[in-house]
Chain A
Amino acid sequence: MGHDNKSRSGRRFPASAKMAFAIAWLCCLIILAPITARAAIVEGIVLTPSGPADKITVSAAADYASLASGIGLILAKPTQKAGQFRFELPQGIYFFTARGEKNGKTVFAYHGVNPVAVTNNYLWLPFFAVEQKPLVLWPGQGQGIGGRVTYKGKNITSGVVSIYPAADKHFRGMGLLSNTIDEEGQFWFDLNAGTYVIIARQRKNDSTMGPLQQGDLFCYPAQNPITVPRDNAVEVEIPCYPKNAISDFLNTDTIDPRGRREKERENASLREIPMMDPGIIRARTQKLPAEISGTVSDMKGKPLPGLYVIAYPADIFPYFQMYVVRLITKHIVRTDKDGHYKLDLPGDSSYYLITRERLGEAPVAREYYGLYEGNANHRITANWGKHQADIDIHAARIMPDLN
């Protein structure tokens, strides 16, 4: 035997021990293999209109609360190439942000696709970072958030600004409140004292709904979430970047950094990453959903077919207020010909239940409308794997004539 298998102590192992060691090693490989497979490489670049940003910090947060607090962030490693970074992340859903400097100014980007589903082994994630201006507080000048929305330093004079509760998970749709940007490029919201996330969007087709298209502007201030102190007006500038339109974003004298990279490396282009509905991701990983069912009827007990039953998330606002029914929800179902409904819901969450004839606008005269009256808060709790029956709702036509 030319070489001995030796341990570090130089002690020789018997054949049986070698066999046991080999089996243990195989077991380790089997156990560790899925973990290795679930890791994904996320690379990207932080661009400013003047080119790649300097001194970048790119972070991934498991949820928005972590992003806002800065606790538990996963930081990317910079690479040797200007403005570029690299993560190794477990597959999952993340909120990504990027900070850096350019020409002595601080730049920031919140990725417009957030929360991003990292499901593949490789993801290219470009950031369009823009200069940030500080908040200004105006004591005694009202209570709310106002300011202007800018693109490349100039006010934009159309688009929609939306206010979301900081506890919102996705910051999509119209939020708590939405307002148009006026002709001067300004906006204002009267708000209760509290903490909010504010996002502006400008769509080229003047639509106010739906996903942003190439060239539409996404606008997010680095100061989010913004706290509105009592009796203070908060002034903020919300800078924008164009979705998936690098040519528009870069200044005319800036070299497009794609060029060679795009030709040489298939996965390193500045293409937009696909946006996956977090709800779909969640549905794939959830246990059985909760379910509620019941009947919608008028005051004489006659079933009402074709009415919408809508469940508004109640965990964020635990006490029913009128504005609850302005929130965005996807938990909507219609009653069948017998007035019955069945609604699947994520478990272990609470919801306000209402029923009505119309969607997407404030209630109108003589519309059928009803709130769940099982308690004074109009609220139900959906439990994992449980079916709650007989969640019945009465509806009546509202707003009769005055005389």
Chain B
Amino acid sequence: MRQLLRHILCFFIIPAAFTVAAVVNAVAGQIFLQDQVLSHDTTWSGEVVISGVIVVGRGVTLTIKPGTTIRFKRIDRNQDGIGDSEIRVLGRLLAQGTAEKKIRFVSAEENPAPKDWSFVLIFTSGRINLVSFCEFSHAFSGLQVHFSTAKVTNNTFTDNNEGLRFGRCHLLIENNLFRDNKIGIRFTRMEGPVFIRHNEVTRNQVGIFLVPSGQNIQDFFNPDRRTPWNTGHLTISGNNIHANSHYNLDLGAKQLWDLEISDNWWGTTDSGRIEESIFDRHRDPLLGRAIFTPFAKNPFATAGILPK
């Protein structure tokens, strides 16, 4: 009987496009996935539970329907204190929810905590990935983008170790909410083109954290401080970056280059208080300088998730 029910679910209830091997929990109606490579275009809807690493193969598109919830089980195979469940996208991710029906990437644990699961990782993808109206919580990093291209808009990143991390990539980060994470946005390269605009970054320990990549840094060279290093590559403007408990902006160790970060709202019009909320050369002479002037005199109404 259980076998029959499983077949019925597999062939009639689960969308036909969902072609990978999956174990269906007949009681809860969830799709339960373990380590596997999706080798055909796949669509998820309803409840998906992941225990392990799901690879979206190169050339494959994973489409996630609005209203879908993806739950990640906490497993820690390498005993590093970070849950290992992950979606690794080599192909293409289309996770486009709506304002009414968001897509949720959450912990499957009864008492969820940051680092319960690893991340949605878009890695060496050859397509444009779209992530919108999604919620990410209790991850090590909600979303990571490396050597890939993505548009990340109208998403919520809360209660993660890091909301969003990126390295070398082409990336639009627009109208997102980063709140109650240890780090809101962390990045390691200022190459781009990357646009960080109209986001609400608040109540994190560190709002935005820039730290150089640890990848063979021996070719780092002396900074040219005549021009902020991110000019023409990385735009950070029109954001509300405020009320982050440690720093609104932190230039990590060895971040020697000046960062142009004007035209943002920092929670105050007092330039001294803005400076106090930024860790840069004024605190450590070896670091670069955060050029935050001119700054906005009022919060941006257009920042954060739209429509409000």
Write the residues of chain A forming the contact surface with B, with a CB cutoff of 8 angstroms: 160, 174, 177-180, 182, 184, 188-190, 192-194, 208, 230, 299, 317-320, 322-323, 326, 362-365, 369-371, 373-378, 394-402
What 6 A-B pairs have minimum CB-CB distances, sorted nearest first?
A396-B126, A299-B59, A376-B35, A363-B147, A208-B218, A402-B170
Known contacts A375-B37, A396-B126; 6 further A-B pairs (Cβ under 8 A): A180-B220, A208-B219, A299-B58, A370-B124, A399-B125, A399-B147
- Knowing A322-B146, A369-B124, the reply to whether A402 touches B193 (Cβ < 8 A) is yes
Q: Which residues of A contact B81 (CB under 8 A)?
A: 193, 230
- Knowing A319-B84, A376-B36, A394-B58, the reply to whether A400 touches B126 (Cβ < 8 A) is yes
User: Closest CB-CB distance, B251 to chain A, in whole Å?
Assistant: 14
- C-beta contact mask, B192-220 vs A, less than 8 Å → 1, else 0? 01000000000000000001011111111
Q: Which residues of A contact B220 (CB under 8 A)?
A: 180
Write the residues of chain B forming the contact surface with A, with a CB cutoff of 8 angstroms: 35-37, 39, 52-55, 57-59, 77-78, 80-81, 84, 88, 90, 121, 123-128, 146-149, 151, 167-172, 193, 211, 213-220, 253-254, 286
Q: Which residues of B contact A374 (CB under 8 A)?
A: 37
* Contact indicator B168/A178 (Cβ below 8 Å): no
Cα–Cα distance between A192 and B76 once the two chains are bound (Å): 14
* Contact indicator B78/A319 (Cβ below 8 Å): yes
User: Closest CB-CB distance, A124 to chain B, in whole Å?
Assistant: 33
User: Closest CB-CB distance, A92 to chain B, in whole Å?
Assistant: 32
* Contact indicator A402/B78 (Cβ below 8 Å): no
Q: Which residues of B contact A184 (CB under 8 A)?
A: 286
User: Closest CB-CB distance, A193 to chain B, in whole Å?
Assistant: 7
* Contact indicator A398/B57 (Cβ below 8 Å): no
Cα–Cα distance between A160 and B59 once the two chains are bound (Å): 40
Q: Which residues of B contact A317 (CB under 8 A)?
A: 78
* Contact indicator A396/B58 (Cβ below 8 Å): yes
Q: Which partner residue on chain A sits nearest B189 by CB separation?
A: A362
* Contact indicator A396/B59 (Cβ below 8 Å): yes
User: Closest CB-CB distance, B191 to chain A, in whole Å?
Assistant: 9
User: Closest CB-CB distance, A216 to chain B, in whole Å?
Assistant: 15
Partner of B39, one of A319, A373, A399, A402: A373
- Knowing A160-B218, A178-B218, the reply to whether A398 touches B147 (Cβ < 8 A) is yes
- Knowing A182-B286, A319-B84, the reply to whether A399 touches B170 (Cβ < 8 A) is yes
Q: Which partner residue on chain A sits nearest B193 by CB separation?
A: A402
* Contact indicator B125/A319 (Cβ below 8 Å): no
User: Closest CB-CB distance, B247 to chain A, in whole Å?
Assistant: 15
Q: Which partner residue on chain A sits nearest B171 by CB separation?
A: A402
* Contact indicator A373/B217 (Cβ below 8 Å): no
- Knowing A376-B37, A396-B58, A401-B170, the reply to whether A362 touches B193 (Cβ < 8 A) is no
Q: Which residues of B contact A399 (CB under 8 A)?
A: 125-126, 147-149, 168-170
Q: Which partner residue on chain A sits nearest B252 by CB separation?
A: A190
* Contact indicator B52/A376 (Cβ below 8 Å): yes
* Contact indicator A402/B149 (Cβ below 8 Å): yes
- Knowing A179-B214, A182-B286, A375-B37, the reply to whether A365 touches B125 (Cβ < 8 A) is no
* Contact indicator A402/B128 (Cβ below 8 Å): yes
* Contact indicator B214/A363 (Cβ below 8 Å): no
Cα–Cα distance between A395 and B90 once the two chains are bound (Å): 10
Cα–Cα distance between A402 and B81 once the two chains are bound (Å): 35
Partner of A402, one of B172, B213, B214: B172
Cα–Cα distance between A364 and B217 once the two chains are bound (Å): 16
Cα–Cα distance between A401 and B128 once the two chains are bound (Å): 8
* Contact indicator B217/A178 (Cβ below 8 Å): yes
User: Closest CB-CB distance, B207 to chain A, in whole Å?
Assistant: 19
* Contact indicator A322/B126 (Cβ below 8 Å): no
User: Closest CB-CB distance, B192 to chain A, in whole Å?
Assistant: 9
Q: Which residues of A contact B219 (CB under 8 A)?
A: 208
Question: Which residue of A193, A323, A365, A395 has the most chain B CB atoms within 10 A of its CB atom?
Answer: A365
Question: Which residue of B57, B168, B215 has the most chain A CB atoms within 10 A of its CB atom?
Answer: B215
Q: Which residues of A contact B168 (CB under 8 A)?
A: 362-364, 399
User: Closest CB-CB distance, A182 to chain B, in whole Å?
Assistant: 7
Partner of A376, one of B54, B149, B214: B54
Q: Which residues of B contact A394 (CB under 8 A)?
A: 57-59
Q: Which residues of A contact B211 (CB under 8 A)?
A: 190
User: Closest CB-CB distance, A353 to chain B, in whole Å?
Assistant: 13
* Contact indicator B149/A362 (Cβ below 8 Å): no
Partner of A193, one of B36, B80, B126: B80
- Knowing A319-B78, A373-B90, the reply to whether A400 touches B214 (Cβ < 8 A) is no
Question: Which residue of A190, A192, A399 has the most chain B CB atoms within 10 A of its CB atom?
Answer: A399
Cα–Cα distance between A221 and B149 once the two chains are bound (Å): 42
Q: Which partner residue on chain A sits nearest B167 by CB separation?
A: A362
